[in-house]
Structure 1
Amino acid sequence: MAKIISFATQKGGSGKSTLALVLAAPLATEYGLRIAVLDCDYQQSIVKTREQVDADNFEDLLKTVPDARYPYDVFALSLEQVFTFIDDPEKDYDLIIIDVPGRADGDDVFNVLTACDAVIVPLVSDYLDRASTAEFMGILEAIKKSADAHGIDFQYFGLSTKRVAGRREEKQMDDYIDNLGLSRFTAYLSHRVAYSRASTLYSLLNPAWLRYAGGNKETADEIRRLCEELIQRLGLPARKPATASLPTSSTSTAAN
């Protein structure tokens, strides 16, 4: 049975869609997980990345690798369609990632969060983001108490995004989250341009795409640490892919 996670917050601009993009491709290509991403956000950032950014690169790739496939599936769904999708026995995935709208003011968001094994909350160290996170934590704590009472496994975690080394606000955010009693990931993502260039076709662990995106070894190391911590916390199988899903040298026009 698939594990279901969502990247969620009630404030836009925290990086939840970017997290989904950064993690989905390497989890599929480097760790062999069968993944579906459900893009339920109004902005449809993940769907647009595939349809508007990656489509030309994929067509070019097919010229040299005729049997190439995208490393994971992407679906544009409304929140109301999520339950039909996850209840479909024909859907054979290890991990379903849901990108929910950046709000928490309706039953539709609340209901989808209750369907998740884990909710991951992007943490940004600015004061207004911390205040918004505290409100959202109250919602997640209410879900957890209800889940615990019914013997249902539900977890939620904070995950630092746009982290800037040595910044005082980062320490304040860590202390703030610890005082709330929120479990947070040890791994984090720094404030790097490469993450804004994440693709649904190429993993940022693909050396050629990493170079094109402006990343380096530290970028790749951050992604690996985060993937491995996520796999451990959720108990995912972390199987290696039977065959390489994409060539290690990008043939994309964007990289040329």
Structure 2
Amino acid sequence: MAKIISFATQKGGSGKSTLALVLAAPLATEYGLRIAVLDCDYQQSIVKTREQVDADNFEELLKTNPAAQYPYDVFALGLGQVFDFIDDPEKDYDLIIVDVPGRADGDDVFNVLTACDAVIVPLVSDYLDRASTAEFMNILEAIKKSADTHGIAFQYFGLSTKRVAGRREEKQMDDYIDGLGLARFNSYLSNRVAYSRASTLYSLLNPAWLRYAGGNKETADEIRRLCDELVERLDLPTRKAAPAGTGKNSTASTDSN
């Protein structure tokens, strides 16, 4: 049965769609996971990346490798369609990633969050973001307590994004979240331009794409640490991955509402 996670926050610009982009490709190509990304955000950043940014590269790839596929599937869905998707027995995935809208003011968002095995909240250390993010995580803590009471598996984690080494606000954010007793990842993503160039076709662990995106060994090490921690915390299976750039899912698709 697929594990379901979402990247969620009530604060825009925190990097939740970027997190999905950065992690999905390496989890598919390096860890061998069958992955579906459900893009439910109004901005459709992940769908647009595939359709507008990656399409030309994919066409070029097909010229040399006619059997090439995208490494994971992307679906544009409304929040009301998520349950039909995850309940469909024909959907054979190890991990379903849901990118929800950046708000916390509707039952539709919270209904989807409660269907997840884990919710991952981007933590941005700016002072104005801190209280809003903690408020959202306290809501998730309430959901977790209710889920525990009913014997339902549910986890949530904060995950530092756009982290700047040595900045005192980063430590303040860590101390703030820890002081509230809220869960967070030990790994993080720094404020790197390479992450803004994440692709739905190539993993940033692919050396050629990493160089093209302006990344380096530290970038790759950061992604690996985060992937390893995610796999461990969610008890995800890992398999021998397909060769980089060949894809591994049976289909490469972008569905519309």
- The alignment's TM-score, normalised by the length of structure 2, stands at 0.95
Instruction: Return 7-16 or 133-142, whichever deviates more.
Output: 133-142
**Corresponding position of 1:24:** 24
- The alignment's TM-score, normalised by the length of structure 1, stands at 0.95
Give how far 1:61 is off: 0.3
For 1:3 and 1:60, how far apart are their aligned partners in 2? 33
Letter in 2 for 1:89: P
Give matches, 1:164-243, under 5 Å. Answer: 164-241=164-241, 243=242
Give how far 1:17 is off: 0.1
Tell me the alpha carbon deviations over residues 176-216 of structure 1, each in whole angstroms, 9 at most, x when there is no partner.
01011111111100000000000000000000000000000
Residues 36 and 96 in structure 1, CA contact (< 8 A), matched pair in contact too? yes
Q: Is residue 161 of structure 2 the alignment partner of residue 154 of structure 1?
A: no
SS of residue paired to 2:54: helix
Residues 187 and 226 in structure 2, CA contact (< 8 A), matched pair in contact too? yes
Letter in 1 for 2:19: L
Displaced runs of 4 or more, over 6 A: none
Residues 68 and 245 in structure 1, CA contact (< 8 A), matched pair in contact too? no
Query: How many residues align structurally?
Result: 246
Give matches, 1:109-120, under 5 Å. Answer: 109-120=109-120
> For structure 2, which runs of at least 5 residues remain unmatched after alignment?
247-257
Residues 156 and 183 in structure 1, CA contact (< 8 A), matched pair in contact too? yes
Tell me the alpha carbon deviations over residues 27-68 of structure 1, each in whole angstroms, 9 at most, x when there is no partner.
000000000000000000000000000000000000001000
Give how far 1:128 is off: 1.2
Give matches, 1:2-41, under 5 Å. Answer: 2-41=2-41
Letter in 2 for 1:148: D
Give how far 1:133 is off: 0.8
**Corresponding position of 1:252:** none
Give me the CA root mean square deviation. Answer: 0.7
**Corresponding position of 2:252:** none
Give how far 1:245 is off: 4.7
Residues 4 and 98 in structure 2, CA contact (< 8 A), matched pair in contact too? yes
SS of residue paired to 1:201: coil
Q: Is residue 108 of structure 2 the alignment partner of residue 108 of structure 1?
A: yes
Instruction: Name the % identity.
Output: 89
Letter in 2 for 1:11: K
Give how far 1:139 is off: 1.4
Letter in 1 for 2:152: I
> For structure 1, which runs of at least 5 residues remain unmatched after alignment?
248-256
Residues 47 and 75 in structure 2, CA contact (< 8 A), matched pair in contact too? yes
